[in-house]
Amino acid sequence: MTTQTDTPGSVTTVYQVSGMSCGHCEGSVSGEISEIPGVTSVKAVAATGEVTVVSAAPLDEEAVRAAVDEAGFELAGKA
């Protein structure tokens, strides 16, 4: 899945995160994931539990899992 805002060479990955229920949840998850090196954009949507991450290269799923865990939520996997 790619969007028009992607730059050439970027990778877009959609993850499923359980437990998000509000804008604050979205901000917490987005903030933690955005600290992973190489991440250029994060968009979390509590209503669907989807987190779309744009990065310069594919991310280590364990790094994403650790960031989501740090925010207090659970990574269910890629959507």
Q: Mind listing the pLDDT tens digit for each residue in 2-58? A: 344 446 689 999 999 999 999 999 999 999 999 999 999 999 999 999 999 999 999
Contacts 24+ apart (CB under 8 A), 48-53: 49/16, 49/17, 49/18, 49/20, 49/76, 50/14, 50/15, 50/16, 50/17, 50/79, 51/14, 51/15, 51/16, 51/17, 52/1, 52/3, 52/12, 52/13, 52/14, 52/15, 53/12, 53/13, 53/14, 53/15
pTM of the complete model: 0.88
Q: State yes or no: pLDDT of 66 exceeds 60.
A: yes
CATH number of 19-78: 3.30.70.100
Any idea where the domains of the chain sit in the sequence?
A: 19-78
